[in-house]
Amino acid sequence: MKGFFQLISSTEFLQLFSRFQPLAGVQIPLAEADGRILAENVTAPEQLPPFSRSTMDGFAVRARDTFGCSESEPALLTIVGEIAMGSPGQDITLKPGQTARIWTGGALPAKADGVVMVEYTHLLDDDTVEIFRPVAPGENVIRAGEDFETGQVILERGRKLRPQDLGVLAGLGITTVPVYRQPQVAILSTGDELVPPDQTPAPGQIRDINSTTLAALVREAGGIPKQLGIIEDSFDDMLAACRQAVADADMVLLSGGSSVGRRDFTLQVLEELPSSELLAHGVAIRPGKPTILASVDNKALFGLPGHVASAIVVFHLFVRPLLRLFSGLPADHGLQQIQATTTQQIPSAIGREEYVRVQLSWQEPGQPPLATPIYGKSGLLSPLVRADGLLVIHRDSEGLDQGASARVLLFP
Ligand SMILES: Nc1nc2c(c(=O)[nH]1)N[C@H]1C(S)=C(S)[C@@H](COP(=O)(O)OP(=O)(O)OC[C@H]3O[C@@H](n4cnc5c(N)ncnc54)[C@H](O)[C@@H]3O)O[C@H]1N2
Ligand code: MOO
């Protein structure tokens, strides 16, 4: 008799990922690097900024020339020039008692170490300025290399690039970036009852939901989804489709046909693929028990449960971590987690880790949010549409009392 699950724990399931490696690195244009994961450390090839710059409009000074000055006893300085924007400040060297006009972002003249804001000055004539407030050395100046020094590691491998990171790279003239290749994920739905969303189902048929939800989840997790459509419950069709999918993608998500139904070929198909290794068939979680994982070299094939909610839950718990591993990130779900307080008793059966869809309501600041379970069969989407996240109940627990504190994984 085929198809009895050999349930492993969610922790054991995640440990299976140790056999997979991140995808290779590729060089991409800086303009396309937002949100991508760095595949190498990046060091600064030069200083940023390359020269000391003023942060204010005013007068570049030798700070000690302003010491002790005030409204009643201004310092008198001789204006020896103006630093035009984009011109090298070092063309001018300040001698004691001298100053130069400067604008925000302008390059400091040689020997200058501070800038007096124009508000605290008064022009006596074209060559002489009164200074009413002293400045300390370094005041109103960003010194050369203050952001980054030459040779400093500025961004580390495994970092998800953010807009400010791209700004640093632009500032340093790094216009191609080494990032991990994004995983290509083939998505296949199986079932004779399925029709594409743009078709009207005949009696007994339903529209394919999982292809759409899984593609969106893949994209959100940093992968590139390829929807390959619906395959009928035929062993030969499924094997051919999977062979092609494995050849073209880094990961294959098959939904439906993972359970013990008469025509559930997923397991056989995954076992039949050349060089495939079945890693798991069944995981002790609810929903999501009939989840399959197989590998073909460094490629992963998931048989996800057909029930629409189960497929989403399994994606968050297992597909997301492996997509992150392929992308160069830690092999965890990467979802935000919070502690929440239950508004009612939540029963659970011993033996399977339970992921309860919950709606959160926020109390006063500093108080944990309240979590209210939204019950519904795993073939329904409405509970997930209303839910903010998944509350986790340990597999050895019979459930939670009202007012208990529990961990909630937040949907991205
Ligand atoms: N006797 C048993 N029956 C079932 C068991 C079990 O242990 N013993 N497990 C149940 C659980 S739990 C789940 S989850 C499902 C898993 O089923 P399969 O992965 O084999 O998927 P199917 O049977 O093909 O479909 C289940 C259900 O989901 C609908 N479905 C499938 N694909 C899609 C799609 N792309 N879009 C929308 N809906 C889809 C399908 O029509 C079925 O209604 O098995 C239980 N049964
Ligand atoms: O475990 Mo199934 O995946 O309930 O829905």
Query: Which DSSP string do the residues of 218-268 spell out, in sequence order?
Result: HHHTT-EEEEEEEE-S-HHHHHHHHHHHHHH-SEEEEES--SS-TT--HHH
Quick check: 299 and 246 in contact, CB under 8 A?
yes
Distance between CA 2 and CA 53 in Å, rounded?
74
Residue nearest to atom 4 of ligand 2 (CA): 287
- The CATH number of 337-410 is 2.40.340.10
Pairing of β 346-347 and β 121-125: unpaired
**Greatest pairwise CA separation for the chain in angstroms:** 101
Considering only CA atoms, which residue is closest to atom 3 of ligand 2? 288
Q: What is the ipTM of this complex?
A: 0.95
b/e string for 281-305 if b means 16 or more Cβ within 10 A?
A: bbbbbbbbbbbbbbbbeebbbbbbb
Considering the chain, tell me which residue range(s) the CATH 2.170.190.11 domain(s) occupy. Answer: 53-142
- pTM recorded for the entire structure: 0.91
Q: pLDDT in tens for each of the 412 residues of the chain?
A: 344 678 999 999 999 999 999 999 999 999 999 999 999 999 999 999 999 999 999 999 999 999 999 999 999 999 999 999 999 999 999 999 999 999 999 999 999 999 999 999 999 999 999 999 999 999 999 999 999 999 999 999 999 999 999 999 999 999 999 999 999 999 999 999 999 999 999 999 999 999 999 999 999 999 999 999 999 888 999 999 999 999 999 999 999 877 677 567 888 899 899 999 999 999 999 999 999 999 999 999 999 999 999 999 999 999 999 999 999 999 999 999 999 999 999 999 999 999 999 999 998 888 999 999 999 999 999 999 999 999 999 999 999 999 999 999 999 9
The ligand minimizing its distance to the Cα of 283 is: 2
CATH number assigned to the domain covering 53-142 = 2.170.190.11
* Ranges of CATH 3.90.105.10 domains, the chain: 25-45+151-180
Domain span(s) for CATH 3.40.980.10 in the chain: 10-23+182-326
- 243 Cβ contact partners less than 8 Å away, ≥ 6 residues apart: 273, 274
**Closest ligand (CA of 188):** 1
- State how far the Cα of 244 lies from the Cα of 236, in Å rounded to an integer: 12
Task: Give which of 48, 325, 304 is closest to 183, Cα–Cα.
Answer: 325
The reply to whether CATH 3.40.980.10 applies to domain 10-23+182-326 is: yes
On whether the CB atoms of residues 308 and 302 are closer than 8 A, the answer is no
Mutate to test the pocket of ligand 1, among 227, 232, 259, 262 (most ligand atoms within 8 A of CB): 259
8 A C-beta contact, residue 281 and residue 259: no
Ranges in the chain annotated CATH 2.40.340.10: 337-410
* Ligand 1 binding residues, C-beta < 6 A: 189, 191, 193-194, 206, 208-211, 255-261, 264, 287, 289-290, 305-308, 310, 378-379
Q: Give the separation between CA 209 and CA 186, rounded to whole angstroms.
A: 15
Q: Which CATH class is domain 25-45+151-180?
A: alpha beta
